[in-house]
Structure formats: structure tokens, C-alpha cells
Amino acid sequence: MKFPLLLAQGAEGIAVGLSCKMLPHNFNELCDASVAVLRKRSFELLPDFPTGGMADVSNYNEGERGGRVRCRARIKKLDNKTLEITEIPFGTTTTSLMESIVKANEKGKIKVRHIDDNTAEFASIVIHLAAGVSPDTTIDALYAFTDCEVSLAPNAVVIENDKPRFVSVKDLLRISTENTLRLLELELKIKKSELEEQWHFASLERIFIEKKVYRKIEEAETWEEVIGFIDKGLKPHVQELKRPVTQEDIVRLTEIKIKRISKFDSFKADEHIKQLAEQIKEVQNKLDHLVDHAVDWFKELKKKYGAGRDRKTELRPFDTIVAAKVAVANKKLYVDRKEGFFGWSLKDAELVGECSEIDDIIVFRINGSMTVTKMADKKFVGKGIEHIAVFKKNDERTIYHMVYQDGVKGPYFMKRFVVTGITRDKEYDLTGGAPGSTMEYFTCNPDGASEVISVVLKPRPNLRKTKFDVDFADLAVKGRGSKGNLLTRYSVQKVTQKERGTSTLGAIPVWYDETVRRLNDTGHGRYLGRFKGEDRILCISKSGKYQLFPYVLSTHFPDDALTVVKWNPKEVVTAVYWEGEKEQYMVKRFQVEASRDAVSFITEHPNSKLALHSLLPEAELHIAYDKRSTNRPDEDIDLVGFIGVKGVKALGNRLTPHKVKELTLNTPVFVPLTPEAEEVQGMLITDDEIGNLEAPEEEGLEESPMKQMKRAKSTSADVISPDDPLIGGYKPGKQIELGLDE
């Protein structure tokens, strides 16, 4: 074939000890890649599935064995109780996908109320969630436990010379393109041969008629004489031809009818021969420039059949979903502390809480040992269980407090530690290692809170102080293997908690990875800030809507998200949008109002669309006018002075009555926050603080620094320059510039 149909449609097969799986690719991209091969340029060839969806091809390995492609369905969140699957992974059907969801629901890994299959021309599977179930967590769970995510193992292998050959898709395309080049050359040679044959006979016919060779055959009495007379009559003129005259040529001349000879037009014959010569020359030119001809052939192919064949599968990296974090808590954890058993089948024992069947369980025992093991229906972990809970890997916010006696008659130590990475089913000794060590006090603080304990010593002669308090906040948080700090060398009667302090952990720093559109606390992507309490994340989308999200790492942002930043309630959004009904650009400024659902800040007309927006308080717009309809020069507009702050549902003001060619912002949409800038913002003080700190003036003394700052603020601009290196230009509200150098 001249076109790489194998790569366009994909192929799958299996034989004894050998299998093949080639993924489909996009028609237009194959044409472009073939042109790149002909031009000896680099190219990239990645799969495109007819079912759409999303694919992570970071490990595609050019289609060779050993690679892996992860395919995901496209899941939309219609509201907090409803999800819709609009595109399915390659290799699945809506029926098989629904069956996998039902199966996961029956196993308790997800909680779904019911599923509707509304598939018609396009896929539409509507999932109604159970009450109290997070849609974001359910989306992750669908990817983790159902066919909403499938993994494909490409293995491109073909038969060449009766032998299997493992080859990459790039090599396959190169082979196909070389084959196309060979076939096009063969076609041109065949066409040239046909045209030359037509030219030869047309020229022979002209000689036969114009030179009246046909008249000499009147004297012939046999067929052999006819052939001989014609051959003899043509010989004086054969030098005009490009090849010798054969007997077949002479036989064809004898078949010309008298009527055609009588109506022969010498001028038309010459024109026909001339056209044939030009066609031969054109074909020869293509043969001389075969690569250019092949490039034109692929471009024409794309032009003719490429319409409507745009890429259907979105290529994007996927974040790794930890199944244990998204599994629904479908089991109850019970524990028999005395006998040392735990599991979901011990319903007569102590209830610890809910968990999933794939969770890890962490167990601390009175002898100072710790182990992490898999959840089970019933499992023995040792007698004397002091604490048991669901284990969270790499959890640095859960802090454990422990007091233990090192040995039977040894001193008492106290330690404050975290448990992050472990080896499952391995027993760890948290004490100093002396035989007979025992745990005297233990608490678990998921919020990292400190606490004050009261220690009562056993009375003994010459011991004046038998009771004292210790604050764990004074201890550094270390690893589980640390021995701890010496508490006392005297015998302890009891240890009790006197008071529980506040969390010693600060706000959580959060980053936004725009590649996978997910939050993380590992430093990947753009820094959003430190979050705590009621802090929220503002997301502005292309559809002209905004929505406030919690800083939960499993949050799924819309596919059309434009801006994702930490929400500042005082911040003003400036938006320019096309109003569909009035057919004109409008400008509005508003503050984001707290709401759980997405809020549209442009009109509901189907043709209305968001043009651009900005979160900066000094947003400036550049308007380029259409010079075909107006001679008005391009201009810059200060959007802050153009319109005041109004409600989110306000229509706004008309931008211009003239026809606009292009709109661009002279200022950025927002200035990215950095940890350094956030720290400086925390140092900025308000007017009231300045007033409280201002010292009274004394005669003969210079103006106080606080007075200088207050006066400077009253006379300076309300905003800090975006170029200010101190805070990186980010400015959520009105601020003053402090004289930190002083």
C-alpha cells in the first residue's frame, strides 16, 4: 500500500509464543510524519484512539515491546452528586465499562447509587453517587478500580522475509514511506511508458496518413505484401520516431478505418502529439524530483481526506493514584487487644474505626514494638496492643509521643517521632533495645499537636520532688529509630496527660502541577501558597465560570481551567467577554463570592464567551482595531479606571463600539506567588498596627520610622510595582512598601 494503513488502524494478533499489538494513529499526523521522513526531518508519532479519552504516552517506547500506554476515560463532574463519562478508553465498550463499575461497587471499593447509559451517537454514562461521597475521590477510585483506566502494552512486530521482526512505529513509517516512494516511481514509469506508446502511435498514424502510405497497399494481393508495402513506405520517416516500428504497429495501422483517414486533421494531430510530449515531460520531471512528488502526494491526500480527522485522544501525563487513598472505607476495623488479634470479622471485639480491605494497619504494642501489616478478616500481631490505626505512608503530620522504660530497671526516656517509610510485616523496636523494656505512655496526634504530661515518681527516701510536668513541644520530632531524651532515672509510678496543646505544624504548602492539573505537597509545579482552615483555591475556566475548591490534593479541576490560584476574598477579577446577544465586548470587575458550585460571570447566551481576564489591580488592555472598518488607532485602556467594582451578575460596560481585531493584556493575568514573597507579605502591617506602634513625637527628634511609613503610604500609590523584587510583583490587596533596609 502507498498509505501506512497498518499504523492508522492498528493491529492485534497472537500466535504460538508470539503476539502483536499495534495501536492506531491519527491520519493527518501520519501524513505529516511521512512528509518529515521524505524531508529527512525528525518527527514524533503517538497513538490516537477512535474512542477519544486521554492517554499518558510518556512510556510509549515508540510502540516497541516493553513500553506502556495508560488510557483513561474522560469523566466530567456535573454536580456534587453526579458524574458523566463522555469518552471511554481504547479497547473497552460502554457495556464492559459499566460492568467494571458495578463490580467495583459490589466489592465496596466505590459507592454508586445507580448508573444510566445514555449512549447514542456519543458515549454518555451517568453515574449517580451515594449520599456523602466525594465526587473527586470517586473519580480517582474509578480510575483505580474500574476500566476507566486501562494499561496497554504495545508490541509492534511484523513478518519480513518469513521471519518476525520487532520494529518501532517510526521504523514502520519509514519503511512504509520508502514503499510509497517506490510505488509512486513505478506508477510514474508505467504512465510514462503509456504516454510514450501513445505518442509513438500518434506520430506513426500521422506519417501513415500524411505521406499517403496507405495508397501503396492497393497493389498488394496478399497479407504479407500489405505488411511489406507499409513497412517500405514508413522507412524514409522512421527517424522521426523514438523507437523502431514493429509488426504490431503495422497491423494497428491496417485497422484504421477509411472514414477516419478521410477526416484526418493534420493540425489536430500535431496538437495531440504536442500535448502527449508535454505530459511525458511532466512525468519525467516528477521522476527527476521524486521526493517532491511524494511530498505533494501526501499533502494532497491530507487535503482530500483529512477534514474531520483531528486528534481525538488528549495526550497528557497522569498522576499516580494510590489505591489505598481512594478506596471507600467498606470495612470496620476491630481489635482484641488482650489476645493480639485484629480484623473486620471480630465483630464482638473493640471497634477502632472504618477502613478499606486494601489498607495497611499500624500496630504499637506495650513492649515498645511496632509493625505495619495488611488489613485482613482476622490476623494475629502479638498480645498487648497499645495503639492500632490505619497507616498512611509518608505521613509527616502524624506525630507520636512515647515514654518507655529502657530495660527492667533502666531509666525512662521520652521521644517524639514520625513513621514514614517502613517494610511491611517487619517488627521495629522503638525502645533503646534493652531486654524487658516497656511502654509507659503513648499517644498519637494526627494534627501534630503537642501535649504536657504529668509524671508521678514512686516515693523513696531523700526524694523531695515526686511530681513534675514535661512539655513535649520542647522535644524535636525525630525518626522512629531515635532513642529519645532522658526523662528520669527514678522509678515512675504513673504518667498522665495534663493538657493537649495546639498543633506544632504550620499551614500546608500546596503546589499546582499544570501538566496533570492536580495539587501536590511535594513541590511540583507552581506554588499556590500555604493553606489552613477555610482557605480555598480559585479556578477560572474558559467557559466564563469561577469555582472555589478546597485544598484537598485529590481535587479534580475542570479540563478548561485557565487560572488556578489561592483565593483572596478581597481580590478583584477583571473580565472582558463577548456578549452573544448584543454582539459586543463587555468589561466588568467583581469580587469572587463564596459558593460551593461553579458561578458564571458572563451572560448565559450560547454565543457569549470569555475573551480574557486578570487578577491584578492595575490591569491594562491593548485594543487592536480592524482597519478595514475603522481608521481608529490602536489604544491602551486602564481597566481599573474604565469601570468600578460591581456584582458578579452585573452585565458590565461596553468596551468599544468599533470593530475589534485583537485584544491583549499589557499586564499579566496574575503574578505567581513564591514562598519568599508569601513570607514578605506576612511581614506587611496594616494602618491600625502602624497607628498603635507610632511613638509620640518629641521636640528636637527626627520623625519616627512608623510616622515616616504612615506618611509615605498616604502619599504613595496604592499598589506595589509588579517589578518589585521584594515580593515578586504579587499583590492581593492594598499594601505599603516597608523600609526594610533601615
CATH number of the domain where residue 207 is located: 1.10.268
Residue 608 lies in a domain: yes
Asked whether residue 422 falls in the same domain as residue 474, the answer is yes
Of 572, 528, 573, 582, the C-alpha closest to 550 is 528
Of 446, 437, 448, the C-alpha closest to 387 is 446
Residue 646 CA: distances (Å) to CA of 593, 603, 651: 12, 15, 9
Average pLDDT in the 190-199 region? Answer: 89
Average pLDDT in the 598-614 region? Answer: 93
Average pLDDT in the 342-366 region? Answer: 90
Of 271, 290, 309, the one marking the end of a domain is 290
Q: How many helices (H) and strands (E) does the chain have?
A: 15, 43
Report the percentage of the chain scoring pLDDT > 70. 90
Average pLDDT in the 506-531 region? Answer: 84
Q: In this model, does residue 715 exceed pLDDT 60?
A: no
Residue 87 lies in a domain: yes
Residue 634 CA: distances (Å) to CA of 639, 640, 659, 662, 680: 15, 19, 11, 10, 39
Asked whether residue 66 falls in the same domain as residue 160, the answer is yes
Reported confidence tier of residue 708, pLDDT bands at 50, 70, 90: very low
Distance between CA atoms of 186 and 189, rounded to whole angstroms? Answer: 5
Average pLDDT in the 318-324 region? Answer: 76
Q: What is the 3-state secondary structure (H, E, C) of 642-674?
A: HCCEECCCCCCEECCCCCEEEEEECCCCCCCCC
Asked whether residue 141 falls in the same domain as residue 233, the answer is no
Distance between CA atoms of 628 and 624, rounded to whole angstroms? Answer: 12
Residue 556 lies in a domain: no
Residue 540 lies in a domain: no
Question: What local confidence, expressed as pLDDT, does residue 739 receive?
Answer: 39
The CATH code of the domain that includes 119 is 3.30.1360.40
Residue 239 lies in a domain: yes
Per-residue pLDDT tens over the stretch 562-588: 999 999 999 999 999 999 999 999 999
φ and ψ at 583, to 5 degrees? Answer: 55, 55
Asked whether residue 427 falls in the same domain as residue 493, the answer is yes
Asked whether residue 576 falls in the same domain as residue 444, the answer is no
Asked whether residue 686 falls in the same domain as residue 660, the answer is no
Contacts of 343-347 with C-beta under 8 Å, sequence gap 24+, read: 343/375, 343/376, 343/377, 343/378, 343/379, 344/375, 344/376, 344/377, 345/377, 345/378, 346/378
Per-residue pLDDT tens over the stretch 65-117: 889 999 999 999 888 889 999 999 999 999 999 999 999 988 888 889 899 99
pTM score of the predicted model: 0.67
φ and ψ at 19, to 5 degrees? Answer: -140, 160
Asked whether residue 684 falls in the same domain as residue 641, the answer is no
Of 640, 665, 690, the one marking the end of a domain is 665
Residue 433 lies in a domain: yes
Asked whether residue 680 falls in the same domain as residue 661, the answer is no
**Domain range spanning residue 456?**
323-503
Residue 296 lies in a domain: no
Distance between CA atoms of 650 and 588, rounded to whole angstroms? Answer: 7
Give Cα 236 to chain centroid, integer Å: 79
Cell numbers that stand for 399 in this block: 506525630
Reported as type and span, the H/E element at residue 693 is: helix 687-693
Q: Which amino acid is residue 722, in one-letter code?
A: P
Reported confidence tier of residue 209, pLDDT bands at 50, 70, 90: confident
471 vs 728, residue with greater confidence? 471
Residue 272 CA: distances (Å) to CA of 206, 265, 267: 11, 11, 9
Per-residue pLDDT tens over the stretch 675-684: 877 766 655 5
Q: What are the b/e assignments for 308-320, b being 16+ CB within 10 Å?
A: ebeeebeeeebbe
Asked whether residue 159 falls in the same domain as residue 20, the answer is yes
Asked whether residue 631 falls in the same domain as residue 686, the answer is no
Of 665, 690, 713, the one marking the end of a domain is 665
Residue 543 lies in a domain: no
Q: Can you tell me which residue has the cell 491584578?
A: 616
Q: In this model, does residue 701 exceed pLDDT 80?
A: no
Per-residue pLDDT tens over the stretch 356-373: 888 899 999 999 999 999
Count CA atoms within 13 Å of residue 214 on its CB side. Answer: 18
Distance between CA atoms of 67 and 168, rounded to whole angstroms? Answer: 11
CB atoms within 10 A of CB 154: 24
Q: Can you tell me which residue has the cell 500466535?
A: 15
Asked whether residue 30 falls in the same domain as residue 122, the answer is yes
Q: Can you tell me which residue has the cell 460502554?
A: 94
Asked whether residue 82 falls in the same domain as residue 224, the answer is no
Cell numbers that stand for 633 in this block: 488607532
Per-residue pLDDT tens over the stretch 218-268: 777 788 877 777 777 777 777 777 778 888 878 887 877 777 777 777 788
Distance between CA atoms of 513 and 249, rounded to whole angstroms? Answer: 77
Question: What local confidence, expressed as pLDDT, does residue 680 receive?
Answer: 67
Of 703, 706, 664, 714, the C-alpha closest to 685 is 706
Q: In this model, does residue 133 exceed pLDDT 50?
A: yes
- Structural domain count, the chain: 5
Mean pLDDT, all residues of the chain: 84
Check: CB of residue 229 under 8 Å from CB of residue 219: yes
